[in-house]
Amino acid sequence: MMHLIPVFFVFIPIIASLIVYLFKSKLSTYVIILAQLLLAILYGIYLIDFSETMSMPLVIFGGWNELFAISFYNDTLSLTFVGLAIFMWTMLIFYTFKTNQDEHKFLFFFMFLEGVFLGLLQTNDLFNLFVFLEVMTVLITILIAYRKSGPSFRAGIYYLLLNTIGAMFFLIGIIMIYYVYGTINIQFLIQNMDLHQQEGLIKLAYIMMLSGISIKAAFFPLFTWLPMAHGVAQTSISGLLSGLVVKGALYMFIRVNLQMFSQTDYNTHEIFFYIGVLTALVGVTFALTQKDLKQILAYHTVSQIGIMMMGLSSVANLSYIGGFFHILNHALFKTLLFLCAGVIIHAYHTKKVYEIRGVFKTMPWISILLIIGMLSISGAPLFNGFVSKTLIKYDFKNDPFKMIIFTLINIGTVTSFIKFSQILFGHKVQIEKNKDTLQIVSMSIIGILCVVIGLFYIPIGSFIFGTDLSYVTFKDPRQWIDYIIYVMAGLLLYRHVIMRDYVPLQIIRESRLTFEHANYVFILYMVVLSLFIFMR
Amino acid sequence: MNPILSFIVILVGVYGLATSKNIIKSVFCVTIIEAGTILLFLNFGAFEGGAIPILGAIGVDIVDPLPQALMITTIVIGSTITSLALMLCIKIFHHYGSIEWKEVLKGGDES
Burial of B72 (0-12, 13-18, 19+ CB in 10 A): exposed
Measured at the CA of A350, the angle between CA A344 and CA A352, to 5 degrees, comes to 95
Residue A10 and residue A48: Cα distance in Å, rounded? Answer: 19
pLDDT for res A261: 82
pLDDT over 60 (residue A349): yes
Contact B21 A516 (CB under 8 A): yes
Residues on chain A touching B84 (C-beta within 8 angstroms): 138, 141-142, 160
Q: Are A280 and A409 in contact (CB under 8 A)?
A: yes
Contact B109 A160 (CB under 8 A): no
Residue of B nearest to A126 (CA): B70
Contact A519 B95 (CB under 8 A): no
Contact B102 A156 (CB under 8 A): no
Higher pLDDT, A518 or A66: A518
Higher pLDDT, A509 or A273: A273
For A103-157, write each residue's pLDDT tens digit.
Answer: 888 889 999 999 999 999 988 888 889 999 999 999 999 999 888 888 889 889 9
For A287-328, write each residue's pLDDT tens digit.
Answer: 888 888 888 888 999 999 998 888 888 877 788 888 888 999
From A325, A303, A329, select the one nearest A314 (Cα to Cα).
A325
Measured at the CA of B59, the angle between CA B55 and CA B60, to 5 degrees, comes to 85
Q: Are A273 and A313 in contact (CB under 8 A)?
A: yes
Q: Are A95 and A446 in contact (CB under 8 A)?
A: no
**Nearest C-alpha of chain A: how many angstroms from B47?**
13
Q: How confident is the model at residue A55 (pLDDT cuts 50, 70, 90)?
A: low
pLDDT over 70 (residue A359): yes
Cβ neighbours of residue B58 closer than 8 Å, sequence gap 6 or more? none
Q: Are B32 and B87 in contact (CB under 8 A)?
A: no
Q: Are A419 and A494 in contact (CB under 8 A)?
A: yes
Contact B109 A154 (CB under 8 A): no
Residues on chain B touching A519 (C-beta within 8 angstroms): 14, 17-18
- What DSSP string runs through A246-301? HHHHHHHHIIIIIIITTTS---THHHHHHHHHHHHHHHHHHHHH--BHHHHHHHHH
Cβ neighbours of residue A507 closer than 8 Å, sequence gap 6 or more? none
pLDDT for res A56: 59
**Nearest C-alpha of chain B: how many angstroms from A519?**
5
pLDDT for res A164: 92
For A477-519, write each residue's pLDDT tens digit.
Answer: 888 888 888 888 888 888 887 777 778 778 877 777 888 888 8
Residue of B nearest to A142 (CA): B84
Residue A238 and residue A258: Cα distance in Å, rounded? Answer: 28
Among A147, A160, A516, beta carbon nearest to B81:
A160
Residue of B nearest to A128 (CA): B70
Of A112-121, A345-354, B12-21, least confident by mean pLDDT is: A345-354
Q: Provide the number of CB pairs (under 8 Å) joining chain A to chain B.
A: 107
Residues on chain B touching A200 (C-beta within 8 angstroms): none
Helices A384-393/A400-421 angle, 10° precision: 160
Among A131, A179, A351, beta carbon nearest to B77:
A131
Decide the pairing of beta strands A71-73 and A58-60: antiparallel
Burial of A485 (0-12, 13-18, 19+ CB in 10 A): middle
Q: Are A438 and A371 in contact (CB under 8 A)?
A: no
Residue A122 and residue B67: Cα distance in Å, rounded? Answer: 22
Residue A473 φ/ψ, nearest 5 degrees: -145, 130
pLDDT for res A271: 86
Residue A282 and residue A307: Cα distance in Å, rounded? Answer: 12
pLDDT for res A54: 64
pLDDT for res B109: 65
DSSP H or E segment with residue B34: helix B23-45
Best mutation target among B9, B31, B105 (most A Cβ atoms within 10 Å) is B105
Among A152, A161, A516, beta carbon nearest to B27:
A161
pLDDT for res B43: 81
Q: Which residues on chain B place their C-beta less than 8 Å from a C-beta of chain A?
A: 10, 14, 17-21, 23, 26-27, 30, 33-34, 37, 40-41, 44, 66-67, 70, 73-74, 77, 80-81, 84-85, 88-89, 91-92, 95-96, 101-102, 104-105, 108-111
For B49-108, write each residue's pLDDT tens digit.
Answer: 777 777 766 667 777 788 888 888 999 999 999 999 999 999 999 988 888 888 888 876
Helices B3-19/A515-534 angle, 10° precision: 130
For A419-465, write each residue's pLDDT tens digit.
Answer: 888 888 878 777 777 777 888 888 899 999 888 888 888 888 888 87
Q: Which residues on chain A place their C-beta less than 8 Å from a C-beta of chain B?
A: 68, 127, 131, 134-135, 137-138, 141-142, 145, 147-154, 156-158, 160-161, 164-165, 168, 171-172, 175, 178-179, 231-232, 292, 295, 351, 512, 514-516, 519-520, 523
Burial of A6 (0-12, 13-18, 19+ CB in 10 A): buried
Q: Which residues, listed in sequence order, are joined to residue B100 by a DSSP beta bridge?
A: B22
Residue A210 and residue A428: Cα distance in Å, rounded? Answer: 50
Size of chain A, expressed as the number of residues it contains = 536
Among B33, B84, B88, beta carbon nearest to A168:
B33
Q: Which residues, listed in sequence order, are joined to residue A292 by a DSSP beta bridge?
A: A352
pLDDT over 90 (residue A73): no
Residue A127 and residue A71: Cα distance in Å, rounded? Answer: 11
ipTM over 0.85: yes
For A178-213, write each residue's pLDDT tens digit.
Answer: 888 888 888 888 888 777 778 888 888 889 999 999
